[in-house]
Amino acid sequence: MSNKKDLTFYNLKERKWLTRLDRGSIVGHTTSCDTKLWFRFKSKGKYLLVLSKTSLKDDVSKKPKEIESLYTRFSKKLNDNLPLHCAVEVTVDGTSDFTCVLNTFENDSISKLDEDSIYYYGAYNLDEENWEIGVENSHSFRTMPKNEIAKSWDISFGLYSCHMPFDPKNESKSDASMWDLMEKELKFSNAKFVIGGGDQVYCDGVDYLNIWNWLKKVKKDKPTIDDMYSWYRDIYRGYWGFPGVKAVHRQFPNYMTWDDHEIMDGWGSYTKDELSNELDTIFEWENKKTNLKLASNMFKAATHVYKEYQHSHNPKRENVKDCFDYDFNTCGSDFFVLDMRGKRNFDENYTILGKNQMKRFLDWSKELENSNNKGPIFVVSTVPMVHLKDFVSNILDWVAIFGARDDVRDHWAHEKHGKEFIKILNTIFKASHNTKRPLVVLSGDVHIGGIFKLFSDKKKHKNAKVFQLTSSAITYAAVGPLKMGLLAKATAQAGTIGKNSSFRFERETIFPQHNFSLINYKTDENKTTQINIELIGKSEDSRVKESVRISLLDI
């Protein structure tokens, strides 16, 4: 019999969560004919995952045998006029924290979805003979219009980042009300999808929920990777249990990427010595080898759980292992979502993206020249390319402000990232110039919203139109008005991007409130005619909606 101490967190009462995600769903990557639907259940069992053209709420009174009969009849294809589009039986065994994905892209037995159509979905527990998901609230989504050539578009989508609603000083307080506002605004604008631009959870957001603090307390007990899985899963369940979060997840296609707080604050921006020091306590001598091994295992666990909860419902990149960047095109536009954490290493030459991802990005940018899309090009970079004043980016490497040196090293403008930064800027401007399409960098991370216009002095980029939108943070209880004011003052009005480069920027606006963004673009048959950005939020001391709206092509 093992005497190992139980270090797992599953349903641990001592964890100070106000609500936990037991069961829920996320609409993932969705096209005009396919979708990925993510589910989490409370327990092991057999479940029937159902897609329908009619609301499943109307089926709640059906007897279990009638539901099973529908499943049997559908699977045998005896009746093509059933209201169900598909019903797929899955067995959830708990190895992936009771999650699974209904992936119509890879299931040949499921007929293609209709374009620009509403579908309802749910999950029926075959063991307990009751509905698990889809009847208490309407669970539905709309497929995309076909990405036809020479078609005009009027498209809106949402962007948010940095969800940390817990009060650092009061375990019984939190504020996730911005999610309710975002759901309302997404519906009002008929948004097609939502992008989660990093820090969808915080494994170290507040001391009483910080799993790295927990690691330091129990490292003498030799925690396993399985223990660490449970810690990161607990974080997701605690942060995603709020009703407003669940409402946005279940109704709109969600495209997600991680940033540092899904792993550790500043992950990849420490040297090995500094990373080891993060796991030291004042009561022990440093054991660098042990500390780095623990940190490596935590990263493996964070990666594993990120796949389970976020990346499993993103677009899939074929024939590439351990790859979390991805691209997709929809509604006349092209998107590339950069992975800013999977390969980040402050000790390497390509410190942020790594050589392989940079090559994929370069190849994608060249392929844009053959695209028939007329809409804007969007690049998701969780860390902004423009934010703090240039002199701050280097001086603050040696002093503490807002908590840590890694916050400055995280920024593209830090001199350590110079070679890689200039290469990606050249690529972005070249893509916009060659395609004659505007390009917008979508970012988060820095806890203040802002809109910037980027310039190149190079004649070879004369047709380029490049902008940056930063939307952050949707919830962040640890940042009050004073800190937001200081961040706003540290945001440059204009300047050079990178050291000794030919790239410049001008700040159009800053928005020092908790916020999310709505992006609307319009095209005709030849070009993008409008890109409208609305930063939406509310002040710390006000429940009234506040917003600022900018037309990018007019600045």
Segment 184-203, tens digit of pLDDT:
999 999 999 999 999 999 99
Residue of 497, 493, 410, 424 whose CA lies nearest to 456:
497
**CA–CA separation, 278 vs 477, rounded Å?**
24
Q: Rounded to whole angstroms, how far apart are CA atoms 322 and 367?
A: 23
Alpha carbon distance 18, 170 (integer Å) = 12
Name the one residue in this structure whose structure tokens are 């940018």. Answer: 365
Cβ distance 536 to 156 under 8 Å? no
- The answer on pLDDT for 58 being more than 60 is no
Residue 527 CA from chain centroid, whole number: 29
Residue 270 and residue 410: Cα distance in Å, rounded?
A: 9
pLDDT exceeds cutoff 90 at 441? yes
**pLDDT band at 397, cuts 50/70/90?**
very low
180 by Cβ neighbours in 10 Å (0-12 / 13-18 / 19+) ranks as middle
C-alpha 2/C-alpha 10 separation (Å) is 20
Res 396: pLDDT: 45
pLDDT of residue 301: 98
What is the model's pLDDT at position 87?
84
In a 10 Å sphere around its CB, with 0-12 CB exposed, 13-18 middle and 19+ buried, how is residue 338 labelled? buried
**Confidence category of residue 361, pLDDT binned at 50, 70, 90:** very high
The position carrying tokens 């050079």 is 496
Taking only the tens place, the pLDDT of each residue in 327-354 is 999 999 999 999 999 998 877 776 889 9
Q: Look at residues 33, 142, 36 and name the one whose alpha carbon lies nearest to residue 88.
A: 36
Does the pLDDT value for residue 545 go beyond 50?
yes
| pLDDT value of residue 81 | 46
Per-residue pLDDT at 4: 78
Q: What percent of the chain has pLDDT over 90?
A: 65
Confidence of residue 74 (pLDDT cuts 50, 70, 90): very low
pLDDT category at 124 given cuts 50, 70, 90 is confident
| pLDDT for residue 134 | 87
Task: Give CA torsion, residues 307, 315, 255, 372, to 10 deg.
Answer: 160
pLDDT score of 80 more than 50: no
The pLDDT-based confidence of 493 (bands split at 50, 70, 90) is: confident
* Residue 378 or residue 413, greater confidence: 378
- pLDDT at residue 126 in the model: 87
Looking at residue 504, its pLDDT comes to: 92
What structural domains does the chain harbor? Answer: 32-142 (2.60.40), 153-554 (3.60.21.70)
Q: What spatial distance separates the first Cα and last Cα of the chain, rounded to whole Å? A: 70
Report pLDDT for 239. 98
0.85 exceeded by pTM: yes
Q: Is the pLDDT of residue 91 over 80?
A: yes
Q: What is the Cα–Cα distance from 28 to 550, expressed in whole angstroms? A: 29
Q: What is residue 467's predicted lDDT score, i.e. its pLDDT?
A: 98
Query: pLDDT value at position 302?
Result: 98
413 has a pLDDT exceeding 80 = no
pLDDT, tens only, 215-266: 999 999 999 999 999 999 999 999 999 999 999 999 999 999 999 999 999 9
Tell me what pLDDT residue 123 has: 92
- H/E segment holding residue 73: helix 64-75
